[in-house]
Structure formats: structure tokens, C-alpha cells
């Protein structure tokens, strides 16, 4: 029986930490990167719409540029890859239609049978004020980040989730505005440096009593 004492998942969640110093020499293999990107791709999202794009950045020059827009955090350049999540702005009917076509195609369905679902999503999404809608698409990206972090921990790959960057500058550097995208979240992935002191810090979390309310 799996218990908290013998759960590999819990062991891996305890093993992971927000890596401050990566080993710049140690890179992920293609196969490892593929598993992590697949974990992002398989992430659930509201209605299944996945209203974001994900940039997988290896290019050192581009990362040096982005580092200047990230308070010079060393993870940006030292990690094996930098993942930038960009939520879609002004998400609407066009994107919903493309999702509907994907469902019909994937499940070999008559698209007409999806009219009700399409209308329901359109009514819901189009009724939101623009700022609320943009916030909603960003929230979906956070779910993908959570999955990425768990998948990385499962493979003993290190990661650092990051909000410490200037989104406007990222949007400029990556030319996101013209694509109706906004950089909302970053994750550095790779392998920890043996000298990263923070790997030895004891985890600080709320107690069960403080966090959970059992009704």
C-alpha cells in the first residue's frame, strides 16, 4: 500500500526545490526535454482550450537578452533551457473555433454535434471583460507550470519557476505583441550546481492544520 512514508511522488516533491544555481555544463537530453514538453502539452485547461503558447529557449544570445529583463537572475542563462509561457490576449471566437475543429478532427466527429459546446464556450468567454479574460488565460498557463514542475521532479530534473521578470520587455524581445501574446511565466530547467546552497534548505510550508479545512 502506498503511504506518505513510501510514496515516490512525495519523495520527489521533497527532492525538488526552486533551483537558484544551475550547472551550466549539464544539459538535458532530447528525450528528457521531450517528456517535459509533453507534460506541458498534456496539462489540463479550462474547457481544454490551452489558451497559451510555450517557448522553449536554448539560444544563449537570446537568453542573455532575456536575463537583462529578469533582474539578472543567473538561472536564465545557466539552465539547460528556458521555458516561457505566454498567455493569449483577447482570446475569442477564432481560437474557440480552431479548438472545435481539433476536437472534431481528433475524435472523428461531425462538427455540427459540437455546436452546443462551441456556443457555450463563446457565451462564457466572450462575456468576460478583456482584463478578466487575459487574466483567465494566464491562469491556465500556471496549471501547465505545475505539471512541468511535477514531471521534472519525477525525473530528478531541476527547475526554477519564475515571475521575476519584466513582461513588457519579454514581449518586446520575443515579439509577442504582434502575436497577441503576453509573457506571463518562466521556468528554467536543467541540473542543479553542486554548490547551490539552497538545495540544502529545509522546506518551509504551512502545517496541515493551517492549510487544510476538513468539513
What does the alpha-carbon distance between residue 87 and residue 8 come to, in Å, rounded to a whole number?
32
Q: Per CB under 6 A, does 153 bind ligand FMN?
A: no
Tell me if 163 contacts ligand FMN by CB under 6 A.
Answer: yes
Grid cell locating 17: 526545490
How far apart, in whole angstroms, are the C-alpha atoms of residue 19 and residue 76? 11
Say how many Å lie between the first and final Cα of the chain, rounded: 26
Is 11 near ligand FMN (CB under 6 A)? Answer: no
Nearer Cβ to ligand FMN (99/191): 191
Which residue lies nearest ligand FMN, judged by its C-beta? 164
- When asked if residue 162 is in the footprint of ligand FMN (CB under 6 A), the reply is yes
Q: Sheet containing 181-190: give its strands across.
A: 52-57, 81-88, 181-190, 158-162
- Minimum CB–partner distance for residue 90 and ligand FMN (Å): 23
Q: Is residue 108 near ligand FMN by the rule CB under 6 A? A: no
d(CA 195, CA 23): 9
Rank residues 121 and 151 by Cβ distance to ligand FMN and give the closer one: 151
Note whether 89 and 53 are within 8 A (CB).
no
Question: By CB under 6 A, is residue 203 in contact with ligand FMN?
Answer: yes
The one among 133, 161, 182, 184 contacting ligand FMN by CB under 6 A: 161
Q: Is position 169 an interface residue for ligand FMN (rule: CB under 6 A)?
A: no
Amino acid at each position: 500500500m502506498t503511504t506518505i512514508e513510501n510514496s515516490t511522488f512525495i519523495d520527489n516533491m521533497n527532492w525538488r526545490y526552486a533551483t537558484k544555481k544551475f550547472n551550466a555544463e549539464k544539459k538535458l537530453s532530447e528525450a528528457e526535454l521531450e517528456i517535459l514538453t509533453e507534460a506541458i502539452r498534456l496539462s489540463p485547461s479550462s474547457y481544454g482550450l490551452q489558451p497559451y503558447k510555450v517557448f522553449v529557449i536554448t539560444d544563449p544570445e537570446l537568453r542573455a537578452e532575456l536575463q537583462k529583463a529578469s533582474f539578472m537572475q543567473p538561472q536564465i542563462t545557466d539552465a539547460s533551457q528556458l521555458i516561457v509561457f505566454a498567455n493569449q490576449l483577447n482570446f475569442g471566437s477564432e481560437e474557440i473555433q480552431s479548438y472545435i475543429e481539433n476536437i472534431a478532427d481528433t475524435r472523428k466527429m461531425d462538427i455540427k454535434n459540437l455546436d452546443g459546446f462551441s456556443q457555450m464556450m463563446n457565451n462564457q468567454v466572450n462575456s468576460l471583460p478583456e482584463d478578466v479574460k487575459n487574466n483567465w488565460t494566464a491562469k491556465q498557463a500556471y496549471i501547465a507550470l505545475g505539471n512541468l514542475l511535477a514531471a521534472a521532479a519525477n525525473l530528478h530534473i531541476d527547475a526554477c519557476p519564475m515571475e521575476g521578470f519584466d513582461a513588457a520587455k519579454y514581449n518586446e524581445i520575443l515579439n509577442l505583441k504582434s502575436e497577441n501574446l503576453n509573457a506571463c511565466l518562466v521556468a528554467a530547467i536543467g541540473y542543479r550546481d553542486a554548490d547551490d546552497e539552497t538545495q540544502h534548505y529545509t522546506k518551509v510550508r504551512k502545517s496541515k492544520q493551517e492549510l487544510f479545512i476538513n468539513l
